[in-house]
Amino acid sequence: MKRFQFDSTALRYFLTVVDTGSVNGAAARLNVVSSAVSRQIAGLEQRLQNQLFERHPKGMRVTEVGRILADHARRVEADAARTYAEIGGHNGRYTQTVKVAGAHGFAARALPHKFAAFQAEHPSVRFNLTVLDAGLVTERVRSAQADIGVTYSHAAEQDIAVVFARPAEIVAVMRPGHPLAVHPALHLTQLSAYPLALPEGGSTLRRLLDMASSLYNTTLSPAFTSNLPDAVYNYVLTGNAVTLCARLSATDELDTGTLICRPIDDALLNGGQIQVQTHVSRPLPDAAHRFLRFLRSDTPGLF
pLDDT in tens, the chain (303 residues): 445 567 788 888 888 888 888 888 888 888 889 888 889 889 888 888 899 888 887 778 888 888 888 888 877 777 776 666 666 655 555 568 899 999 887 788 788 989 999 999 988 899 999 988 887 899 889 888 899 999 888 778 888 999 988 888 889 999 999 999 999 999 988 988 899 998 776 677 788 888 888 888 887 788 999 878 889 999 999 889 999 988 888 888 898 999 999 999 888 788 888 899 998 887 888 889 999 999 888 665 555
Domain boundaries, the chain: 1-94, 95-163+275-298, 170-271
CATH domain 170-271 topology: D-Maltodextrin-Binding Protein; domain 2 (3.40.190)
Which whole-number Å values give the CA distances from 30 to 11, 46, 74, 75, 165, in the listed order? 13, 22, 17, 20, 40
Q: According to the model, what pLDDT value does residue 87 have?
A: 64
What pLDDT score does 267 carry?
A: 81
| CA 288 distance to own-chain centroid | 17
* 95-163+275-298 matches 1-94 in CATH topology: no
Quick one: pLDDT at residue 89? 56
Task: Give the CATH H-level superfamily of domain 95-163+275-298.
Answer: Periplasmic binding protein-like II (3.40.190.10)
Query: Angle, nearest 10°, between helix axes 34-48 and 23-30?
Result: 120
Domain 1-94 class, CATH top level: mainly alpha
Q: Which of 70, 75, 62, 82 is nearest to 15 (CA)?
A: 70
Put residue 198 in one of left, alpha, beta given phi > 0 → left and psi -120 to 50 → alpha: beta
Measured between alpha carbons, how far is 150 from 182 in angstroms, rounded to an integer? 34
